[in-house]
Structure 1
Amino acid sequence: MVHYFPFLILVLFYDPFLVFTRYRVNPTFLLLIVYLLLLFQSKLNDQTLPSIHQKQNRNQNVNRFINHISNESHIVMIVLEGVSRKHLIGVSSKYINFSSLENSHFYIPMPHTSKSLFTWMTGESQINSSRIQSTKQIEGESLPFLLKQKYFYETKMIYTQSIYFEGMNLFFPNVFQEVQDKTVLEKKIDTQKNYFSWGMDDRVVLSEFKHLDFDSQPLLIVVGLSQTHSPYFTHSHQDVALPKVLRHTKALEENIELIDELISYIKTNSKKETFLFITADHGESFGEGGAHAHNYSLYNQEIDVPFLMYKIQSNELFIPKLGSSIHFKQTLLDLLQKESHRKENSQNFFSSNYQLELVLKTWNSEIQRGLVLDQKKYIFHTDRDTLYEMDLEDKNRKIILDAKLKEQLLKKMYEHMQN
């Protein structure tokens, strides 16, 4: 309105129409013209701003390898809820080019939230149990505990769902110095409109970040978001009527807006470098192969999750070509060591000699077993007694008819023990 206000005053008081006619222009007509101009400008901004971000992102270099992470740096890990790699590729960010996730693959062993979060922090998949099986030894070797003991990190978990779900409350408070989940965070929100059955409005995370001291000791902050969990919460109540896949997309876009705000806040309020990891606990099915939600499919829409590392202060992006959550703990610990003290490690997915052999399983169900091995993926449909071989894109699929080969692969799927 500021742009067009002088024009409006000029016409109202010095009506140019009087030069040619005997009548002044109708003020209502003038207001309509100004309204249309404002509408046109807003539509123009909607079209141009995303393209500016995309242009900036296209010039962003992607690094496949990194040699070292300073143990003085902050580490922030954001775990999206139910977001596959393909879901994130098309979303725009002010800082990160998510289209760079094309042609990379990062796998979780089981498409289920509590087991997946446990795997990220411990490197254990425990695919043969439907619930977390923790011990004092596992807790003492967990990533948060080791970062606190070895590098004096202050460790915190912010989770907009409840940890009182499948025994998570018996593990995460034992390995983090502080855990704030939905039961704590909801007391800080004034209205019930920001809750839904599984979680809450993820924007509460930004207010929590504003209470952190980024200039003190190094921080490990693990953030678990919830808006993209079914029923896919968005800020607009009108979105309830949208199809599930569109509501999921809008919820994801809101999560990325939040992540951009977190990046902006850290850039402004921290002098130290911050390594931001963005990933997901699992993906989500929307009818692919007859699957819906998650837990019952081992195809990429549920187990191939986004994974990237972004250096906030330096504006550098790192995406491994291949990786898995079972190797996240070892990779990070490896990078925090001085290179002179580091042993050769094939479980560091940012190293050139990384190799992945990963057993997959649907949660609390034997409907599918799977294996990632030698740049190939195998999925066994137990209900059909059919074993498929495919590439890492889930393409070039074929049935394995060789009985001996089938027996060897099934033996790996059922007997392979992962550490």
Structure 2
Amino acid sequence: MGGGCGVSGREADVVIVGAGVIGAFAAYYLARAGERVVVLDPDPGGGASAGNAGLLVPSYSRPMAHPQALAEGVRAVLGGGHDITLRRPLRAGTLAWMARFALAARPGRAWRTAPRLAAMAARSLRLYTEFADAERLDIGLRDAGLLAVSRDRRTLDAQRRTAERLARLGVAAEVLDPAAVADAEPGLGPVAGGVRFPGDALLDPLDATRAALTAAERHGAVLVRTAARRIRHVNGQVTGVDTEAGPVAATTVVLAAGTSSVALARSAGVRLPVEPGHGWSLTLPVAEPLLRHAVLDLDAHVVLAQRADRLRLTGGMELGGPPAPPTPERFASLRRTAAGLLPGAALGEPGDQWHGARPMTPDGLPIVRRTRPGLVVATGHGQLGMTLAPATGELIAADLTARSRG
């Protein structure tokens, strides 16, 4: 994967700010369509694209803004949140975002918008396979399926009802009793049952992001390792980007910089309803295959995903407050959850800790649209960045190439 630092005087059809998985696939599809593309990022493939679980999950097609998540948010405000917690002191912007989240979490609304996410997720899964085959690049893709388990029957009943609604959108699911869970995952400890989503998949998130960038460069995109400072615009028309290495002129700017998109969009007079959702992961070395599926512990809200000799544990989300690394207890909790689910596994090695921020919208839907002449925003994918990246990139490329040829 290349990258230079000289940008002053450079011109492009499209400048993409952000080389995470969203920006990488936007660059790939635009470059493949023949557009002159420049990608700007001081740390290509970093951010949330590096440390997530690597899940491709049509089973997550219900947007996060729904009544159950709202109830968890209320518990977080009161100090008893489990899946969602709050950093204090709360910023005014976080409080405003939470108010919009509450409005978006009206009963029934999430299921009215879920078909859009399900269609994008299904499209992305097909595109990942086509991409890996066409470019002959290994992204660690496998049809692992997701197995959601719990020790509590009420929690399982709620997951079963969600699965029934998802089935109407074409998302396959199977309800498993304890014996069937043991057959599917012999290494798991006792649970009350589970719900399996066989259409979900798993990949290596960093490998996939780097592969998309490599393929974009093969097709002519230029990757420049520098940070964007502001969006350039004249009389309402975006004209390029000012970077730490100088200005870059462009007909269109695609803003795909995750949570950093908020400040950059503001420099162009655009306000984005995006809040950083701080997350963390712990990656442990393992000596043997432990899991056949990606496993979601519904009780602790922790995902276990194994790739070769690594087991990645992800879970939790923290909103608000000043940026700060997670406490040691966050990582210790992940390890305890994994040890409880896999009682026979040797998980004592220190492992690699990661933390970062996902771009969260109040309604749980990504922002992928033109917000002013010459500026396309592609952010707010939340927990679905990996799942929706190829479909997002394809959508952006189709729109921009149609406009340039229209």
TM-score (norm 1): 0.27
Instruction: Provide TM-score, normalisation by structure 2.
Output: 0.28
Query: By percentage of residues, which structure has more strand?
Result: 2
